[in-house]
Copies of this chain bind each other. A is one copy, B any other.
Amino acid sequence: VAAPRTREQRRADALAILGAGEADVWVATASADGDASLVPLSLGWTGERVVLVTESRSPTARNVIASGRARMAAGASRDVVMIDAELETATPLADGPADALERFATQSGWDPRPMADADAYLVLVLRPIRIQAWREANELAGRTLMRDGAWLD
Contacts and interface: CB of A to CB of B under 8 A. Distances in A.
B36 A29 contact: yes
A70 interface: yes
Interface of A is mostly: strand
A30 interface: yes
Interface string A68-88: 011111000110101000000
B40 A80 contact: yes
B38 A30 contact: no
A107 B72 CA distance: 26
Interface string A1-41: 00000000000000000000000111011111111111110
Determine the interface band of chain A, counting residues with CB < 8 A from chain B. Answer: 20 to 34
A138 interface: no
A130 to B, nearest CB: 12
A30 B36 contact: yes
Most-contacted residue by chain B among A33, A69, A70, A71 (CB, 10 A)? A71
Contact of A30 (B34, B39, B78): B34
A91 interface: no
Of all A-B residue pairs in the complex, the 8 with the closest CB atoms, nearest first, are A30-B30, A24-B77, A40-B77, A28-B38, A30-B36, A28-B28, A28-B36, A30-B34
